[in-house]
Amino acid sequence: MSKQRGRRRRQPRTDINPLDNWVPKTKLGRLVKEGHINSIDEILQNNLRIRESEIVDALFPDLRQEVVDVTLVQRQSDSGQQKSFRITVVVGNGEGVLGIGVGKAPEFVPSIRAAEARAKLNIMVFRRGCGSWECRCHDPHSIPFQVKGSSGSVNVMLRPAPKGTGLVTADVGKIVLRIAGINDVWSITKGRSRTSSNFAKAFVDALAQTYKMLPPQEWSTSGVVET
């Protein structure tokens, strides 16, 4: 008994990089692991599609995630009633990179992992700036101009706000904007905004317009609009 009490549990190693055991399955994955592609700008300019979540982990090691919505789904089958979790996760680095994904699994933790992997595959870039005529500073605390986004029946309009205004929107929108790195914005929503998953997707779609509406020579993930 004394020997068993005196034993210490082995501490997990923190110096192991999970990407060391990653074996890329796509050409883009091999280029990223070999160091030929070091930024998401090169991927977007070459119209390449991300099919492995490890690509995003290699390019953005400091990526954060937030759970937006958790829904318990029930389905009736021949064997009885089956339950599963449907979870919506948003990932971002607070500097112009954002992604959203939905995962579904019978257990809670696998559904979060599936949603996180799907969000990394849906990664996109957006632009931050100061488009408010009341502020006119050069800090990327808001969005550069007014944008609109939609998902399902939810329509969202985002307007740049002066510094110190805060996030004038619902709780789901605040989660998306905070992980995106935006501190001040006004929002107008229409539709069934109680559907948290579509509500968050509409915000992500609106932020994506800040990138799509700019000419290709100004594409960058620096987060500041060039003037």
93 belongs to a structural domain = no
Q: Express each pLDDT in 14-33 by its tens digit.
A: 555 667 788 899 999 999 99
Helix pair angle (171-180, 196-212), 10° resolution = 40
Place of tokens 């089956």: 82
- Separation in Å, CA 134 to CA 3, 164, 206: 71, 11, 22
Which pLDDT does position 222 carry in this prediction? Answer: 43
Q: Token digits for 4? A: 């068993």
127 belongs to a structural domain = no
Average pLDDT, the chain: 85
Q: Which of 73-77, 157-161, 221-225 has the lowest mean pLDDT?
A: 221-225
Q: Per-residue confidence at 227, pLDDT binned at 50, 70, 90?
A: very low
- The predicted model gives 138-156 an average pLDDT of 92
Last residue of a domain, one of 42, 59, 76: 59
CATH of the domain at 164: 3.30.230.10
Which pLDDT does position 85 carry in this prediction? Answer: 93
Whether the full predicted model's pTM is greater than 0.85, yes or no, is no
State the total domains in the chain. Answer: 2
**Structural domain span for residue 193:** 147-218
Q: Per-residue confidence at 154, pLDDT binned at 50, 70, 90?
A: very high
